[in-house]
Amino acid sequence: MQINDQVEADRWVGVALDSQIQSASSHPVILNGRELALWRGESGPARVWDDRCPHRGMRLSFGFVRGNTLRCLYHGWTYGENGHCEAIPAHPDLAPPKTICASTHGTAAKYGIIWVNLSATRAAHVPDLPNQPGWLPVRSVHLRASAPQVLDGIAEFDYGEPARTSMPAQNACVVVLGSDTQLFFALQPIGLDKTGLHVVVNESGEPQIPRRQRLARQVARLRDTIEAGGGGVWPSPRTL
């Protein structure tokens, strides 16, 4: 399996589980070596911007959220949800020019995953999956392996039961275990030898929290197996 590592290709990449990003918080994210700030206001969806304040280049992920604005830690310049500067503390009576704007990117939340598209002209769509409702978070992990190695590792892993693997996009993989369990892996290329993996699950019937907890532990085992370059065995359904 191959993956496109162009930083600004027109494609949607999963960078976090939506449930991980709490309200009024900001976090650093790296995508193909590009530093990004992932943040959420006190209400509304998460947003992904370049991790650089237009004023002096301070990392916006170090900033703090007030309401639905992101305030730079260095000089307090404040940016609204659209990226435009709304306030400059050193000049409280000044209406900031519209040209002062953080670099924003297309962001979407789907399947319990936060997606970003760095392309300036976005025509691609977030990968389409069946049974969109009902996807639940399992776990995010980081691997010391390239994205192609991770994709190959997911496809080659012995899940201990019949498994069908498909790729709805270059950076996403679905594994169907048995007849009713779907694991969705969203890959986040971080660097040449580092990849983020964000996993959600969809099952028929009532969601089972203990099962998801055990799946989370097995995702860690999958990570260890890929990093070790081995085949590994996914525990049998009886142990999940």
Instruction: Provide the β-strand partners of residue 197.
Output: 141, 187
User: How far apart (Å, rounded) are the C-alpha atoms in residues 149 and 115?
Assistant: 21
Q: Is 13-117 a domain of CATH 2.102.10.10?
A: yes
Among 40-44, 100-104, 134-138, the minimum mean pLDDT is found in: 134-138
Among 25-29, 58-62, 228-232, the minimum mean pLDDT is found in: 228-232
Question: What confidence tens digit (pLDDT) does each residue in 209-219 have?
Answer: 667 888 898 89
Question: What confidence tens digit (pLDDT) does each residue in 40-58 have?
Answer: 999 999 999 999 999 999 9
pTM of the model: 0.89
So where are the chain's domains? 13-117, 136-239
Other beta carbons within 10 angstroms of residue 6's beta carbon come to 11
Assign 3-state DSSP to the chain and report helix, strand, coil percentages, each to 5: 15, 40, 45
Taking residues 189-202, what's their average pLDDT? 95
Regarding the domain with residue range 136-239, which homologous superfamily does it belong to in the CATH classification? START domain (3.30.530.20)
